[in-house]
Every structure is written in C-alpha cells, then in structure tokens.
Amino acid sequence: MSVYAEVVFALPVDRAYTYRVPDQLAAMVDLGMRVLAPLGRQDLTGFVVRIRSRRPSGDFEIKTLTELLDDEPVFSHELLQFTRRLARWYFASWGEVLQAALPPALIVRSRTRFELRHDLILEDLRKRLSGDDMRLVEFLSRRPYTEKYLRRHFPGLDVGARLSRLERKGVLLRIRELQRPAPRPARPASRDAAQLELDFSLDRESREAADSLGRDLAGRTHRAVLLHGPPEKRHAVYLSLLKQCLSQNRKALILMPEIAQTQGLRRELERKMGERVALLHSRLTPAQRTGEWERIRKGEAEVVIGPRSAIFAPLTPLGLIIVDEEHDPSYQQKEGPAYDARRGVLLRARQTGSLLLYGSDWPSVELHHRTRRGGGVIALSIPPRPGFVEIIDDAHASSIISARIVTRIRRRLESQHGPVLVFCSRRGYASFLSCSKCGAVPRCQRCDVAMSFHKKDARLLCHYCGGTQAFPQACQDCGCRLVASRGPGIEVIAEEIKRAFPHRTIRSFDPDEAGRLSVQERILADFSRGRIDILLGTPLLAHRFRLPPVSLVVAFHPEATLTAADIQSGPRTSHHIRMMARFLDAAKDPEFLVQTAFPRHHGIRDAALGRYGEYFEKEIHYRRSLRLPPFTYLAEIIFQGRDLRSLARKTRDFVRRVQATGSAVDVLGPSLAPVSRIRGRNRVQMLVKASRKIQLDRALREPLAHAGAAASVQIYS
C-alpha cells in the first residue's frame, strides 16, 4: 500500500505539497520529520505535517520524496499544532514558521549546477550551436556554475530557457548537490563557579503574589497574568515560581527582550538552581545553538532563556512561561515570518495549560487594558523614587545642552556622588545634512530616507540599509555649504560634554562605538569599577539593566521616536524614558533631567515622573477615540517590489479582493509607506481594521493567498 506525505516548505506560500513516500521509507516516516523533496528544479528541506494512505484526488503527477533526513521527528505534535496556530494568526507560511523554530544548522539545502559533458569537444559544438548558446557552453567548459550565477554573468540573456534546451540536446548535465551544514563541536558555555543559593528574597507583598500564582501552577490551570511592579520584586516572584514548577517535573520558558540580558539571568538562575538552564539566541555559534537545542529536546535543560525566537523551544511538558519587560517592542518580529512573541506565548500557554506571567513596571497599554478587564493584574507596589525630576524645554535652551544640565553634572562630579549617565536617542552627529542655500538633503540611493551624518568617520550613513557615502564637501545641486540639522545625535552631545568637562573620563556606548559585544562588556566593566565619569549611551545602553545605579541621569531628545509614523511610537518613547530612570540610586538624592522639544507630551512627562496611572488613562482615551488597539484588530500590510507601477496594480487588486469578501472591515489606503523605498524596493502600505479577529481573517485570508510573497503583514491587537 502506498503512503503519501504532505510537506510544507520555508516559502511564502501557505500550502502543503503531496509526495509519494518510497516503499523503503514508508515504515519510518513520521509527522514532524524533515525531508528532502523536489520542488521545481531543486530539492528543498521540507517538514512532514500529514501522512495519508490514499492518493489525493485529481489528475496530476505526484513526485517522490528524495530523502528522509531524520530518524525521529524534530517537532513534537504539540509544537506542530502551536506553529500552525501561530502561522494562521499572523497570516504567515507554516513552513517558514517551522524553519524559524529550528537551529540553522539543521536546514539542508540543495544547489543545482550545470556542467559540460566531459566527452564532448568544443570544436564540434561550435559547428552545432548558435552564438549565445556557444557563449554559455564555453563559459561552462571552465567549471560548473549555478543558474543564478549565470544570470548575473549574462544579463539580458534568457539563461533558464537556454540551459534547459542545451540539457535536452545532451550538451549539459544538471548536477544536484546537498549542502549540509557541518558545525564544529560546541564548546561548553563558560559558567561562573558559585555555591548554590536558595534564598529567594520574597517580601510580604511578593510572597502573597507568589502564593496566589503558585496555586494556579499547582492546579495546572492556564492563566495569563500581568505582574506590574519593580524588577527586583518581579524577579523574586519568578524564582519562587520556577522552583515550584521544576518540583512538579515541568519545564519553564523565560523570554527577555534583548540577547544581552539573557546571559546575566542565566548566571543568576544557575546560582539559585544549578546546571539546568539553557540559552537560545541568534548570537550563539551554529554548533552552540544546535547543542543547546538538543539539550532542550532531550530533556537535559529544564529552564530555557532567550529573546522572542525562544518561543519555539522544544520544551515538554511546559508548565510556566515568563515574559519579562513585556512592553518592549523587541518582542515583535518585523520580517518574515512576522509574529509578536507576546501573543505567540499566549497561544502556546493555552495549548499546554501553562501559567503565563507577563512582567513590567510600565506595561503596554494593550496588555494592561486586556488583563485588567479579566482580573489578571497583580500589582506590586512600586516605591516612590525620592529625588528631583526636571523637564527642560529644548526651545528655551540657548545651546545644544542646557546650562542647567551642565551645572548639575558639574555639581555631582565635584561632590563625589559617583558617575553620571547621559542618554541620547539618536545615533551619529545629525539626523541629516541640508544645503544652506537651496535646502537640498543628501538621501540614500537605495532607500527613501535622508542619510545621517557621522562626524567621527566623516561619512553619511543610512540607518535602514547600512549604505555609506563619503562626507560631501558641498551641495551636489548648487555647490553651497552643507549644514547639520537641528536634532543632534550622540556625537554632538559627546562633543559638548567633552568641551565642558575636558579633564573627565567620558565614553560612548552606542552601536557605532560599541557594536561588538566584547567592547560593550569592557565599557560596562570600566563603568562598574569607577573608571568612567560620564557614560553616554543610546537605547542600546538603556537595555543593560545590571548597571550600578547613579545619582544623576540625563536624557536628551527622547522624542526622536515620538515622531515616527507608527502607532507604537508614543509607548516606545515612554518605555525608553522609564528604562533610563531605573538607573537612579534612591540613596543618593537622585536627579533625573530630560531635555526635550515636547515637554508637555504625556508620554514624556508622565513617564519621567513615573505616573503610570495618569499615562494609561490618557493613552487609552486616545486609543478609544481613534479606534486603535486594544479596541480593534489592526493589520498593517506592506507590499514591496522594484516596479512601482506593477506594485500599484497588485495593491489595487488586493483592495478589490478584500472588498469582495463582504467582511465588516475598514480599509485605509493603499498609499506609499512612510519610508517608501528600502534597499531599492518600493513599499506601498495599507491598514485594515476590524472589531474582531475573525472578521480580519475572513477579509484577508484569500486576498493574501493571491498576493504571495509581495505582501508582509503585522497584526496589532
């Protein structure tokens, strides 16, 4: 009896392909296995998602699987079901989600090359073949090449058709090669030798929260809870619940917004609970990532820590999921497959019956609204931070840095109150340059954005594609002088501070000065040892929570993210401010100074003063008035392509298909995206609003299937 397997591939196509399983493999094939299967002209790694004993109906050819790559499934039934639900929620390809769940070293790829038959003589072929065909043959006589390489080498030539014709004539041979990554053996991750500690430091309030959540954990009851409180109290609750979860022989997953935070938490947990913790993130070497993934799959690791991609960790049985700093936008994956890990863990927790715990001291508006309505908020009191907060209107500053800020920094340094932290939201020297006469702005040739000026390297840099240009001496249009725009970056702030404090040790912590992790660790170590007087940083530094507290924190221009055409721009601004304020030391009469062009904006003022209640009420009123999440489901759909005219046709056709479904949705657009071109690809955007997710599904499922790879989707709810 024949056996057939339905296989999905990591392609932007949400469908499964049916293959016949060779008789010798029929008894071994299972759900969740990787296979090598022919698709088009090449063999691709696919994933078996269904096995059937009957041939599908229809008059079409069914190809045969090339190879079975596993002796046992790499995906459990639970993970298959979860990834399918996640893919459907975000209109993503199931195959792409499955591939994202695996270490890259487990993805086998095939490469097809063409070579000239060895028994043929070029002189004889010149008598049989035309000019362009002969050019290809002579080029391939040197060595085999892929079709992709040949297309680049012979632009304007229909390479694919000519290769097929030469293959049929017996002139060329098609060679398929499997590219199996062979990572070096993983070196064991370095661990600090430490005596096992068992003190979880719970105060009365944290103990009550841990006991309440512990009852849900003991009853194996799924519940989604927001733990609203300061980091030190939240972490004490986390550790108590982790200990209880492991005592029940169940596993735990902890998500952190940034990779840099995971290593410190791992060391802390290993001191508390021993060698039962695994890390999963993209900065591990292929061998380390595969090794950690295998440890998890074999049950050797009971706690997994990682950023958003760790939601796919093969943990079973799963009892506890923790999402720390849930407000952080890093949990949203922007590129395919697009998903929000905060919603993803909710799907997985419901499926596994796990306790889901979100933690934040400045929660996202959407989650706080949703959990408050369902009674799922546990508030741990945040002690008032004594000290002085001042918001300085940038319009009243006579120079780039307010004189009051310079005075306060000098006072702190002279009184030996320790180092000072200074934050600036912008990289480089200036957001853009402009001509002093005609106003022309140098723009990226591949992206529709102004290029930022980085004075230290004397270059212009595109922060979207990474493209660079040498610093232009004059305007290309009229030849006049170029001047820096208002809205200075961290290089300007560093210049001004060095001018004001020439004898102090000043360092910068930003992606340009401290891009490598080793450099970052060295700067942070010097700061912790008191070797730095003033440390400047971008939001990259604000994410490093384990810095020693200071008596003075200064924030310049936090509104840099506020002006972005994004519904998350306001919350992102307030979250950055709160992260900066965390570094204040309550024991040193702390001061928090904010210099901004928007001193009365609630996202800046309330965040600086730590007034979450006031901020939430204003923000939720704004969302309700404009019918934005959490009061609607919002899909942001972006079409990308090199030909703008073709892209316009596709988007108009998409809108017609959405309207033809008759679903109760509002369609805004299409229009050019705020950044209308990135890396040479034009971008057209539209928004689709619905009161319920099912309405969004009915409106978008079929139109997106026709749109294919041209469209990417972000869901906000």
DSSP sequence for 20-59: EEPGGGTTT--TT-EEEEEETTEEEEEEEEEEESSPPSSS
Predicted confidence (pLDDT) per residue in 135-147, tens digit: 888 888 888 888 8
- 191 in any annotated domain: no
Residues 602, 505 share a domain: yes
pLDDT over 50 (residue 4) = yes
CA distances from 204 to 228, 357, 381 (A): 16, 19, 11
Predicted confidence (pLDDT) per residue in 200-211, tens digit: 568 888 899 999
pLDDT above 90: percentage of residues in the chain: 43
Q: Higher-confidence residue: 147 or 660?
A: 660
The per-residue pLDDT for 398 is: 72
Q: How far apart are alpha carbons 646 and 142 in whole angstroms?
A: 39
pLDDT over 80 (residue 58) = no
Write b or e for each residue in 647-686: b if 16 or more Cβ atoms lie within 10 A of its Cβ, otherwise e. bbebbeebbebbeebebebebeebebbeeebbeeebbbbb
Which pLDDT band holds residue 441 (cuts at 50, 70, 90)?
confident
The per-residue pLDDT for 126 is: 80
Residues 542, 472 share a domain: no
Q: What is the mean pLDDT of residues 282-303?
A: 89
Residues 480, 582 share a domain: no
Q: What is the mean pLDDT of residues 370-380?
A: 83
Average pLDDT, the chain: 87
Q: How far apart are alpha carbons 388 and 591 in whole angstroms?
A: 5
Q: Higher-confidence residue: 600 or 456?
A: 600
The per-residue pLDDT for 302 is: 92
Residues 411, 557 share a domain: yes
- Domain of 599, CATH number, reads 3.40.50.300
Predicted confidence (pLDDT) per residue in 5-37, tens digit: 999 999 888 889 999 999 999 999 999 999 999
For residues 40 and 22, the answer to whether their CB atoms sit within 8 Å is no
Coil vs helix vs strand at 390: strand
- 508 in any annotated domain: yes
- Domain of 173, CATH number, reads 1.10.10
Q: What is the mean pLDDT of residues 238-244?
A: 91
Most confident by average pLDDT, 129-143, 290-304, 462-476: 290-304
Predicted confidence (pLDDT) per residue in 520-574, tens digit: 889 988 998 889 999 999 888 887 767 888 999 999 998 887 877 777 888 889 9
Q: What is the DSSP track for 228-289?
A: ES-HHHHHHHHHHHHHHHHHTT-EEEEE-S-HHHHHHHHHHHHHHH-S-EEE--TTS-HHHH
How does strand 277-279 pair with strand 506-509? Answer: unpaired
Residues 74, 125 share a domain: no
The per-residue pLDDT for 437 is: 81
In 3D, which of 309, 358, 316 has the Cα closest to residue 331? 309
Residues 351, 283 share a domain: yes
pLDDT over 50 (residue 188) = no
Residues forming beta bridges with residue 173, ordered by sequence position: 115
**Domain end residue (candidates: 465, 486, 507):** 486
Give me the sign of the Cα torsion angle 556, 562, 564, 569: positive
Q: What is the mean pLDDT of residues 444-456?
A: 87
Phi then psi dihedrals of residue 686, to 5 deg:
-145, 155
Q: What is the mean pLDDT of residues 315-342?
A: 92
The per-residue pLDDT for 197 is: 46
Of 257-266, 317-326, 497-506, 589-598, the least confident: 257-266
**Domain end residue (candidates: 108, 123, 139):** 108
The per-residue pLDDT for 377 is: 84
**Domain end residue (candidates: 379, 398, 416):** 379
pLDDT over 80 (residue 434) = yes
Which residues lie closer than 8 Å to 102 by C-beta, 6 or more apart?
Answer: 74, 293, 312
pLDDT over 60 (residue 195) = no
DSSP state of 186: P
The per-residue pLDDT for 561 is: 79
- 284 in any annotated domain: yes
Q: What is the mean pLDDT of residues 364-379?
A: 87
Q: How far apart are alpha carbons 4 and 20 in whole angstroms?
A: 5
pLDDT over 80 (residue 645) = yes
CA distances from 398 to 280, 430, 497, 501 (A): 49, 18, 15, 18
How does strand 17-21 pair with strand 3-9? Answer: antiparallel
pLDDT over 80 (residue 156) = no
pLDDT over 80 (residue 53) = yes
In 3D, which of 48, 169, 182 has the Cα closest to residue 114? 169
- 537 in any annotated domain: yes
Of 182-191, 223-232, 404-413, 647-656, the least confident: 182-191
CA distances from 652 to 273, 639, 662, 707 (A): 57, 11, 16, 11
Residues 336, 277 share a domain: yes
Residues 466, 407 share a domain: no
Residues 434, 533 share a domain: no
Domain that holds residue 160: 110-179
- 195 in any annotated domain: no
- Domain of 637, CATH number, reads 3.30.70.600
Predicted confidence (pLDDT) per residue in 479-513, tens digit: 788 887 656 889 889 999 999 999 999 999 988 88
The number of domains in the chain is 6
Q: What is the mean pLDDT of residues 269-293?
A: 83
Residues 553, 411 share a domain: yes
- 561 in any annotated domain: yes
- 190 in any annotated domain: no
Q: Higher-confidence residue: 458 or 405?
A: 405
- 185 in any annotated domain: no
The per-residue pLDDT for 191 is: 46
pLDDT over 70 (residue 620) = yes
Residues 603, 479 share a domain: no
Residues 467, 396 share a domain: no
Structure-token pair, residue 426: 């912008």
pLDDT over 80 (residue 396) = no
The per-residue pLDDT for 487 is: 64
Q: What is the mean pLDDT of residues 213-228?
A: 89
